[in-house]
Structure formats: structure tokens, C-alpha cells
Structure 1
Amino acid sequence: MQFLRWVRPVIAPAILLCLFAGPASAQIPDLRLGRVPTLAPLVKEVTPAVVNISVEGKVRQDNPLYQDPLFREFFDVPKQVEKQISATGSGVIVDAQRGYVMTANHVVEHVTSVQIRTKDGRKFAARLVGRDPGTDIALLQIRDPADLKAIALGDSDALEVGDFVIAVGNPFGLGQTVTSGLVSALGRTGLGKQGYEDFIQTDAAINPGNSGGALINLRGELVGINTAIISPGGGNIGIGFAVPINMARRVMEQLVQNGRVERGRIGISLQDLDVPVNGHVQGARVADVSAGSPAERAGLRKGDIIVKANDMPVRSATQVRNLIGLTPVGQRVRLTFERDRALGNATVEVAPAAEERARVRTSG
């Protein structure tokens, strides 16, 4: 996937950003009334919830002088130097009262200060609540929020391939731009960047400058946070990716509560089904169960085929890993599995990852 590009915030003068937002009241006009179909009412409804994010930060870079042996010998040359950067990106207001703005982690990963500008031109100082590199989601909070408009969160699990979506953003720093397209695929993984992948793929144009923006359905609901594109030349070729809002919402809840995401484990390793098993073409095979783990105590065994997780059909091993990894420690996950052509159920409590790793080392 050598052409994968994370639509990063660009370091001045280039811009990497994205926008998105909106409630659910706008509709396409009815053709029977003699009106031309348009998304204009929907766009007017959602765009006030999309904001521009300006970031000041510092990054450490390799010092070119350090590569010269003469300089290293006669001068005190540091191996790395610190560089001040400016970058821009997009965000989505998801809670107007508390001033919460969701964006992409890579937009704010080097932040020392951040400013948010709304569609009507107002500027607000903001603070970083927390960020999660594993899902590329971050949460900001506007200081002294006033007269903000939030977007309603949709249900990304209800998306289907072929659903219409729109994206709003600031590609190449041109200003707020709206594009439309379809959900091209669901559950995309293996892009090789983030640790918890379950991307929505869309052909709605996403370009550098769209990061942290939103993917919206035709109900005006936020269904994804735009994050990456595949692009041989740096521009849109119709293959873009967004983090599903259901995943982003779980991250946001933990960031609000803890300022970070606390990963948990239940003590199993999983594999995709490479061939159908007892009529199942989708699911996750339990490849191993750690002795003494929560999974073993709940009754799971090697070879079980997990077909549902929290009552949702399981497509892949990645889906189950994502669910467990984003479930707060101490909460439980309901797994339905098939063993010897019979269905069984297990309710497993998620244990702290560090505790689980220590237990595995102890048990060998």
C-alpha cells in the first residue's frame, strides 16, 4: 500500500484539512413538486458544525550536521533539532454545550497551542482533551463555547455499500468545500498505519486538507471522520477512508473520562476464516486461549468460531479485536460462538492489558 497517504495537516504553506457536520432534518426536495433534486438544504444544515483547526507545535528532526563526522568530532552537534511548525486541519463540533470538537489525531499530534475557527468566522482558543494514535482520533475542547452548532452522530454499523455520503472540507486550503459520493466498501483493514482499523471507504473526494473532517449520510448525521487517501500523485483518485463514528464515539467517551484510551485484553488470539467453516464464510476463529485468562474462565476454547460480538454479526478477526480493544477495562463483551456445530455464549470481562501481559509471561 505504498500510495497510502494520511491526509495530514501540512506544515505551512501547504494545508491538510477536512470538514464535516450536521443534524438530520434536511431532505432532498420531492421531484413530484417539480423541484430539482439538490443537497443544498442538507449542506446548509451541517456545515456550521465543521470548523477549521490551526495548530502550532514542535517536532524533533534529524540534524543534517550530525551526519558530518567532522562536525561531530569538533563541535557539540545535537543528533536532533527541534523545529517550530504551523499546521491546519478540520474538526467537527460534536457537543455544542461543552465545546467538544472531534478531529484526527495526526492533525494535533505535535500541538502546543490550537485555535478553532467556525464557518461564520469566529475564532476560539481550544485545549487538547486527549488523543488516540491507535484509531487516529483526537478530541479538542473550545474554551468558553458560545452559540455553537453540533452535528448529530449517526450509526456507522447501519451503513451499507452504495449509501450516498457527503464530505465537507478545506482541500488544499481553498476554503470550505463539499463533495459527494458513495460508500465504496466497509471494514477496510491492512492499510498499515493505525493499530485499530475498520475504515469506511468512499469515493467522495477527499484531498490533502481534509483530515479530521466528517463523512455525513443523507440524514445529516456524522458517520465517519476522514483520515486517509490512496493517491499515487497526492490528490484524489476516488479512494478515501474514514474512521467509523461508532469507533470514534467509543474513543471520545474514554478521552473525556480519562484523557486517554485504556486498552484491555481478554486473553485470546484470533484469525480470519480463510475457508468456510460449517457454512460460515465470515467470523473469527479462536487460534489460542491463554491459560487463566478471562476468556478461558468464560469458557472459550481454541477452535471456537466467534459469529457475534455484542449481538452484532462478526465479519472478521479485526472487528473483534477492535471491539475488545475499545471496551473500557472492567466492562464485559458478549461473544456468540460455534463449537461442534452448536452455538454457545460467553460473557467476558475485559482485563487491563498490562495485567494480562504480565499474567501471560508468568504462565509461559
Structure 2
Amino acid sequence: MTRSLCRFLTGFLFGLALISGMPAQAAFPSSPDGPAPTVAPVLRQVTPGVVNIAVQGRVRVNNPLLADPFFRQFFNLPNGQVERRTQASGSGVIVDADKGYVLTNNHVVENADVIDVTLRDRRTVRAKLIGRDPQTDIAVLQIQADNLVAVPMGDSDKSEVGDFVLAIGNPFGLGQTVTSGIVSALGRSGLGIEGFEDFIQTDAAINPGNSGGALVDLKGRLIGINTAILAPAGGNVGVGFAVPINMAKSIMEQLLRYGTVEHGRVGISGQDMTAEIARGLGTSRTEGGVVTAIEPGSSADRAGLKVGDVVVAVDHQPSRNWISVVNRIALARVDQDVTLTVDRHGALSDLHVTVAATPAKPRQARGGQGYQ
């Protein structure tokens, strides 16, 4: 081994030790049998709170033959519909041990008649579906069992690109599996995966079956619910996405309290801030969402928002881009007041806007983009 390689390995181990919170000397064992850097202590605390989910359900099958009246009569299908049984597997995270609440993805359980949850200690219990929200792909289950262990929730708004993370789930139905990586990007949107997207992107290996599993930091705090991958070849290529836990928590609270999620709007349309727009508006801001249209008579109109306002925060939480503005408004409960902090010609002001319900067919702003 060359001297330069030795220096590199020494520095790497020292850095890993600091990141994982271990004493620095742990990275420099005094003998070949000494301790090595590891995340095993974190996983011992977290993995009991990550579960495997198996579902059975029914889906309707579309077939051109069903359009033939003779075919339907011959097979006694008066309504022209055929259903088939389905089976699927995924993952989930226990977030309340006392009440048995489990977070998972909507797409894991959306067609389920029967949901079975297998715990880390191999106990299998039947789960009750509390509620689900297709727009954010979050669902809440409840299980009844003794000695449950919950994964503590972190604050996904404090996550940064480069943070080390661990993904825990049930890939390909193999059973509980742990992978590691970093936060590759924040605020990913425009992927067409969900209605409201603000993903944490990670290169920790996420594969089919990981859906609904945990993305945790190196302190064992839950920062995301693993949801989707970009997989041109059908497997992991290092581009995975998780719903931020702050978004998932907001959805869970609404489902527990109301049984449904009603996404809100205030009647504005906009786009991401760009350097060109900033020059035109005479501001040095590079983040936020620029209001490009306001629905006449909407709550935003009544609150005094103007075209050209830059929304830099919603309820005093900074907005990186337009989608973060949309998401925070959409997650607010209908009839709730939200505070929009806007930059207008370089001056900041707070405007209080009442959230309204999103109509079944939202009106379109000029240019074709829907009001939010």
C-alpha cells in the first residue's frame, strides 16, 4: 500500500467517524482486532420500526372483448367488467408505537382488501387503513401489537445536499435491507410521479419493494418516506426519491383528524425565480416563486397580492422555488389562514391569505397554467 493511499484511507475513516458521532480514536484501531467505523448502533435502534407490508386486492381488467355483448352474455358478465386478484409488497415505518400508526405509500395499499404487516421480530399482524392521499402518495395504517418501536421523526427542512442517509425497506420482497448514500438534491419536482412533488433525491439504493420505507439520517431520525426511482433498466441506478417527512407528517395529521386530505389553493399562478426575472424586478433574490397571474376575486386577490410579487416564504418557512410555495399552500387545511411573505420592489411584507378548496376542474391562468 502506497503512502498516499494510506493517508487517504486514514482521512476517510477519521471523517466517517466524526460524521457518525463516534470517538475519533475509533477510526484508528490500536490493533487489527480493534473497533471499525460502523452505523450498526443506529440501525439497532431504527430497524425495529421499519416493517414489511404485504397486500392482497382486486383490480378491474380492461379487455376489448368486453365491448362485445355476445361475449359478455356468454361469460355472464352483464356489466362488462372483470376483476382479478392481485398481490404486492412494500415497506412502512412505525411513527407512533403507542397507537400503532404506520406511514407508507398510497400506491402500496391503494387496491388492497387485506394488508398484513410483518415486524422486524417476524410477527405478522393485520393492519387497518386509516386513510390515504394519492396526490402526495402517502397512506396511514394502524396495527395492534405489543412492544412496538417507533422511528423518531426529524426535520426534513433542515436536510442539506451531502448529508449521509440510510434507506431501509423490503426490496424485491427479500426482507428488511439497509443501503447507504447521501442526499443528492432537494426540492425535486416536475417528475410526474405525484400531484404535489418536493422530493428528497438520494443515491442510497432504492428498488421495487422499498416503497414506503424509511430514509433516515445518521442519528436515526426519519427524514423521508422512500417513494420512487428512475430506473431505465428496471433497477436502481442511483436516483431515488423520498417524500420529505414534514410533508408526510402534515398529510398524516389531516388523515388522522379528518379522514381525508383536502388540498387548498389561494388563486395564484407563478414560476420559479430566475436571474433574468430578478434583473427585471430589480431584486437580487435567486430563490422563491414569482406570481405571474392572480384569479379575480380569489383570496389572494382580496389579500392584495400583485403580479410580480416574489413569494419568499409561506408561514415563515423559506420557499426555494414555485413548487415549494404550491406545496405549502396545498398542505394547509381549507379555511386556514396562511402568511405569504412577499418581496415587492425590494420591500418585504406579510400578507394573510385564507386557503380555499381546490375545485374538481381548477380554472386556468393565462398561458394555460392552473391557479394554485
Aligned to 1:301: 306
Correspondences of 1:85-96 after superposition (within 5 Å) = 85-96=86-97
2:295 matches 1:290: yes
Correspondences of 1:155-170 after superposition (within 5 Å) = 155-170=155-170
- Change in Cα spacing, 1:46 to 1:280, as seen in structure 2 (3 Å) is same
Separation in 1, partners of 2:259, 2:349: 37
2:119 matches 1:114: no
Aligned to 1:21: none
Structure 1: 5+ residue stretches without partners: 1-25
Shift of 1:197: 0.2
Separation in 1, partners of 2:85, 2:74: 27
Structure 2 length as normaliser, TM-score? 0.84
2:51 matches 1:32: no
Secondary structure at the aligned position of 1:226 is classed as: strand
Aligned to 1:97: 98
Separation in 1, partners of 2:74, 2:178: 56
> Could you give the per-residue CA deviations for residues 273-325 of structure 1, whole angstroms, max 9, x where no partner exists?
24341112221111112222211222211111111222222211111110011
Shift of 1:237: 0.7
Structure 1 length as normaliser, TM-score? 0.86
Q: Which amino acid aligns with 1:99?
A: G
Separation in 1, partners of 2:361, 2:203: 41
Secondary structure at the aligned position of 1:139 is classed as: strand
> Could you give the per-residue CA deviations for residues 128-158 of structure 1, whole angstroms, max 9, x where no partner exists?
000000000000011x332100010000000
Shift of 1:28: 4.5
Structure 2: 5+ residue stretches without partners: 1-18, 30-34, 366-372
Aligned to 1:329: 334
Separation in 2, partners of 1:262, 1:294: 17
Asked if the contact 2:92–2:169 (Cα under 8 Å) also holds between the matched residues in 1, the reply is: no
Q: Which amino acid aligns with 1:336?
A: T
Separation in 2, partners of 1:332, 1:48: 39
- Change in Cα spacing, 1:175 to 1:287, as seen in structure 2 (3 Å) is same
Shift of 1:355: 10
Shift of 1:75: 6.7
Separation in 2, partners of 1:153, 1:72: 52
- Change in Cα spacing, 1:137 to 1:230, as seen in structure 2 (3 Å) is same
Shift of 1:76: 6.0
Aligned to 2:351: 346
Asked if the contact 1:29–1:36 (Cα under 8 Å) also holds between the matched residues in 2, the reply is: no
Aligned to 2:251: 251
* Count of aligned positions: 333
Q: Which amino acid aligns with 2:325?
A: V
Separation in 2, partners of 1:80, 1:52: 32
> Could you give the per-residue CA deviations for residues 65-101 of structure 1, whole angstroms, max 9, x where no partner exists?
3377974697765543111111111100000111100
**Larger strand proportion, structure 1 or 2?**
1
Greater relative contact order: 1 or 2 (C-alpha under 8 angstroms, separation 6 or more)?
1
Shift of 1:216: 0.3
Aligned to 2:183: 183
- Change in Cα spacing, 1:72 to 1:214, as seen in structure 2 (3 Å) is same
Asked if the contact 1:28–1:38 (Cα under 8 Å) also holds between the matched residues in 2, the reply is: no
Shift of 1:169: 1.4
State the percentage of identical aligned residues: 54
Separation in 1, partners of 2:36, 2:73: 74
> Could you give the per-residue CA deviations for residues 193-222 of structure 1, whole angstroms, max 9, x where no partner exists?
211000000000001110110100011000
Cα-Cα RMSD: 2.2
Aligned to 1:173: 173
Shift of 1:258: 1.2
Aligned to 2:319: 314
Aligned to 2:42: 42
Shift of 1:269: 1.3
Separation in 1, partners of 2:197, 2:130: 22
Asked if the contact 1:266–1:356 (Cα under 8 Å) also holds between the matched residues in 2, the reply is: no
Shift of 1:55: 0.8
Q: Which amino acid aligns with 1:80?
A: Q
> Could you give the per-residue CA deviations for residues 174-193 of structure 1, whole angstroms, max 9, x where no partner exists?
22111000000000011112
Aligned to 1:127: 128
Secondary structure at the aligned position of 2:44 is classed as: helix
